[in-house]
Chain A
Amino acid sequence: MKKLEARHFAFLGLFLVVTLTMLLNIKLDMKASPYTQALYNYIEFLPEGSTLIVSFDHEASSLPEIRPIATAVLRHAFRKKHKLIGVSLLAEGTLIGYRLMRETAGEHGAEYGTDYVYLGFRPQYIAAILAMGESIEKTYPQDYLGNPYGQFELLKGVQNYDDIAAVVSIADGSLTTHWIEYGQARYGVRVVGAVTAAMVTTYDPYLASGQMYAMMGGLRGAAEYEKLIGKDGGGARGMLAQSSAHIYVILLIVLGNIAYFSSRRTKGSG
């Protein structure tokens, strides 16, 4: 049998810590960060009925983290009666995006075609972003369900980004960067992000420079947003597990340093 190494114990410890905290039912008190608050304020104070593109730029793998993030933003947008156009730049995000939109729309009595439309997936994300800047209808002649673009009340008068208040990119990778580099830089569309925790620091420079207008990051951002909209969506529960994992990693770092310095002392004295 393979000999167990220190890292195997580290794995086991993390598994136990996260599993045990998931079983606990503790509510963490969250205070919204300025970033999350900025996104909330943007959607809250947009004139009612503004049109937003919600882009599901993620794969199926990040669903546990993406679901609370996306649900929080969609709930807020539907509650404020904004018109939503759903798209996806990654094939795997397509069905997830459709389901999330349908679920949250159902909660708020929003109707397909009048309050929201789902256009679905287009390959080659850079080409798709650029093409929508010229004409959304030519990029998506039909919606996800195969209905012609011109059939929908919501889409009448929506030609390109000039008719869109902002693009909300829900991403687990760097696709939001492409929205900024091509959609924002080339066509001037406002980009806001709702991204996984691992990607938060990637977007900091864009946020500081104003190229990205606002951002919600990770389960923490989702938990904060849930508190702001007053509706639980799983973010707070996930945040508990994440916080415990962070504390566990801090302990590992401390342990690693103790081991390092004690081995140095042993070598020094030997």
Chain B
Amino acid sequence: MALPSWFNAETLATLLASIISILIVVYTTYYRRKDREFRVRTISGLSAVEDAIGRATEMARPVLYTPGWGGDIQRPTTIASMNILSHVAEKTAGYDCRLVYPTHDPVIMAVAQEVVKESYTRVGFPDRYRSDDISYVSSSQFGYAAAVDGLISRLKPASIFLLGTFEAESLILAETGNSINAIQIAGTDSTIQLSFFIVACDYTLIGEEVFAASGYLSGDRSILASVKAQDIMKVLIALFVLAAVVWSTVETLAGQSLSEWWVF
């Protein structure tokens, strides 16, 4: 079958994978979620969120939440982080605990202000919302790191949430938090920074756990449905990798390529 001339044939595999992924997400979101219970395994870092905020309230110290320097608002990790922020803000509003949110991006700041304001309003405490606690500090990586470090050193927050996309500033922030004995819950999509967080923080959400976190905390069925979709896709990828390994082994044993298009 000939492909239309406007279609870039090199992207055919990507198109097929995209269509399969979209169908799985749409199916789990709109059909499966209606009648099924979604269960997510216990994620200790997320179970500790309430304790961390409670600790800050008891110690009369603020909670500091920052999304890292590496992301912008179009990055899915930042959006996932906003979902967790929404939950954290509901708790800090309820406990009347100060929430400080420094960021490196003006758009993230504007969205975070709206998210926090909405959360405070939702739980019935709009008067406790302080817009100047959610602030833009610097777009420069180490300007941002210095500013957040300064805030941690001066405010001595009892609990610190480092959730988003982090780069080299991760260990600087986590170690400063550790030096003031704050409970630290971290999570990022940067694989290299995960190792720093695991060493320096109390709890670390690894990669996809950040995306599952908002569904886990809020119980929102549409988000939990997409976590289910991820599991289905993971099984498909594992099967595909297995098939590729077997095929590749067969070809090696045969000593020749057995197909022109199925090549690894």
Interface residues of A (CB under 8 A from B): 7, 59, 61, 92, 172-174, 188, 198-199, 201-202
Contacts and interface: CB of A to CB of B under 8 A. Distances in A.
B168 A198 contact: yes
Nearest to B11: A186
Contact of A174 (B70, B140, B142, B179): B70
Contact of B141 (A7, A173, A199, A202): A173
B192 A61 contact: no
A198 B192 contact: yes
B70 A173 contact: yes
Nearest to A188: B10
B9 to A, nearest CB: 13
Contacts of A7: 179
Nearest to A172: B168
A174 B168 CA distance: 10
Interface residues of B, number: 11
Contacts of B179: 7
Given A61-B141, A61-B142, 18 more contacts: A7-B179, A59-B140, A59-B142, A92-B140, A172-B168, A173-B141, A173-B168, A174-B70, A174-B167, A174-B190, A188-B10, A198-B168, A198-B192, A199-B192, A201-B191, A201-B192, A202-B190, A202-B192
Contacts of B192: 198-199, 201-202
16 contacts: A7-B179, A59-B140, A59-B142, A61-B141, A61-B142, A92-B140, A173-B70, A173-B141, A173-B168, A174-B190, A198-B192, A199-B192, A201-B191, A201-B192, A202-B190, A202-B192
Interface string B164-205: 000110000000000100000000001110000000000000
Query: Which one of A7, A172, A198 has the highest number of Cβ atoms from chain B below 10 Å of its Cβ?
Result: A198
Nearest to B165: A174
A201 B195 CA distance: 11
Contacts of B167: 173-174
Contacts of A173: 70, 141, 167-168
Nearest to B141: A59
B141 to A, nearest CB: 5
A173 B141 CA distance: 10
A173 B167 CA distance: 7
B12 to A, nearest CB: 14
A176 B78 CA distance: 20
B87 to A, nearest CB: 27
Contacts of A202: 190-192
A202 B192 CA distance: 6
Contacts of A92: 140
B173 to A, nearest CB: 15
A174 B190 CA distance: 9
Closest 5 interchain pairs by CB? Answer: A202-B192, A61-B142, A173-B167, A59-B141, A201-B192
Interface in B206-251: none
Contacts of B142: 59, 61
A85 to B, nearest CB: 25
Nearest to B69: A173
Nearest to A203: B192
A216 B228 CA distance: 39
Contacts of B190: 174, 202
Query: Which one of A7, A174, A198, A199 has the highest number of Cβ atoms from chain B below 10 Å of its Cβ?
Result: A174
Nearest to B195: A201
Nearest to B179: A7
A26 to B, nearest CB: 28
Contacts of B140: 59, 92
Contacts of A59: 140-142
A222 to B, nearest CB: 18
Contacts of A199: 192
Interface in B97-156: 140-142
A172 B192 CA distance: 13
A61 B168 CA distance: 11
Nearest to A201: B192
A172 B179 CA distance: 26
A61 B192 CA distance: 19
Contacts of A61: 141-142
Nearest to B190: A174
Contacts of A172: 168
B71 to A, nearest CB: 10
B140 to A, nearest CB: 7
A61 B70 CA distance: 15
A172 B142 CA distance: 12
Interface string B44-67: 000000000000000000000000
Interface in B6-21: 10
A61 B69 CA distance: 14
Contacts of A188: 10
A198 B172 CA distance: 13
